[in-house]
Amino acid sequence: MKLFTIIFSIVSLGIIGFNLAQVNFNAPFQGDSVTALTVALIGLCALLLVWILFVSKQIQKKIHYKK
């Protein structure tokens, strides 16, 4: 599970970085820039979900260790 979260985080950061590089900052809400911003936002959501999964697994380990 730890390997999955690391790989998924790296892929998500790569998607965010690639799509932010595709944004035309002179006109960020026109053409392909909208798509790039949308996909970068989706990548941030995926990264947040992976972070929540990681924290919940750490909490689960601490609770299981105390029992």
Distances in whole angstroms, Cα of residue 5 to Cα of each of 13, 34, 40, 49, 61: 12, 28, 18, 10, 16
Hey, what are 35's tokens?
């798509």
More confident residue, 65 or 16: 16
Q: Tally Cβ neighbours within 10 Å of residue 63.
A: 9
Give per-residue pLDDT as tens, 5-47. Answer: 899 999 999 999 999 999 999 988 898 999 999 999 999 999 9
Rounded to two decimals, the pTM is: 0.82
CA dist 45 and 61 (Å) reads 25
d(CA 31, CA 45): 22
